[in-house]
Amino acid sequence: MQGAGMSSCSTTEKTAAGCGCGSPVAFDGASPAYKRALRAVIALNVLGFVVVAVGSWLAASASLAANTLDFAADAATYALSLWVIGKSVQVRSGAAFFKSASLATMAVGIVALAIWRAATGAAPEGGTISGLGLFGAAINLAAALLLVRFREGDANVRSVWLCTRNDLIQCLAVAATGVLVTVTGSRWPDLIVGVLLAGVFLRSAWQIMAQARAERRAASPERDFVTHSRRSSASV
């Protein structure tokens, strides 16, 4: 996640500097504008976590619990994304693998919570769910607007955009869930949406992992070429 401004990130590829071969290299986030946007998004997610965590506990909602976990995980993984900017492909792809695993873990946790709530829980408070869902949607809409011009790039950059987009979809779904819970007086809409959101997390986890693996494989021939060149120079 090189170069500053839109020109460096308005496309998914740029020419690798110094290789003379025109090989495509995905935007890795190494621009001041992207770093500023990412810091602002981290702050938004911390705010969202604090507010929604309190609401989730008060409303006893599976969908809000999913939202709370997502805000917390996003703040942590976006901080990781910021830290790995400018580092090697292996380090950046490793961070993407970690984020993929965290998304998959959240998905499993949400499904487990939904199953537990189905067996033991009463209907949550629909008004609280809708209100906090809309609050979360506003937070993630602001984050999405900050990141939309950086939506293409390497697995690390791409994962930030996918998580933010998922969050916005999730919060809108949570808000709609609250309406359904209020209308039906049933806990099932909340539980069903929680499971569906888990599916969205799993899909994004797979996309991030697949791109990270592809980038790591693509970097290997270049590393092998550099190693071979150094050995050849040493033998002359």
Q: List the pLDDT tens digit at each of the 236 positions of the chain.
A: 333 333 233 333 333 333 444 445 677 777 888 899 999 999 999 998 888 888 877 776 766 777 787 788 788 878 888 888 877 878 877 877 887 887 788 778 777 777 776 676 656 677 887 888 899 899 999 999 998 888 888 777 887 888 888 788 878 887 888 888 888 877 788 778 778 878 877 887 887 788 778 878 887 755 544 444 444 454 44
236 in a structural domain? no
130 in a structural domain? yes
Per the structure, the count of domains in the chain is 1
List the domain range (segments joined by +) for residue 190. Answer: 34-219
26 in a structural domain? no
44 in a structural domain? yes
19 in a structural domain? no
H helices of 85-187, where? 89-120, 126-147, 155-184
Which of 155, 147, 152 lies closest to 208, judged by CA? 155
Which of 104, 66, 59 lies closest to 194, judged by CA? 66
224 in a structural domain? no
- Phi-psi label, residue 153: left if phi above 0, alpha if psi -120 to 50, beta otherwise: left
Query: What does the block give as tokens for 231?
Result: 């050995």
Q: Write out the H or E segment, with its range, that includes residue 223.
A: helix 188-235
pTM confidence score? 0.63
- Phi-psi label, residue 229: left if phi above 0, alpha if psi -120 to 50, beta otherwise: alpha
Determine the pLDDT at residue 141. 93
Determine the pLDDT at residue 181. 80
First to last CA, the chain: 37
38 in a structural domain? yes
Q: Give how far the C-alpha of residue 113 lies from the chain's centroid of Cα atoms, to the nearest Å.
A: 21
Determine the pLDDT at residue 22. 47
135 in a structural domain? yes
> Nearest-5° angle of CA 71, CA 187, CA 126?
65
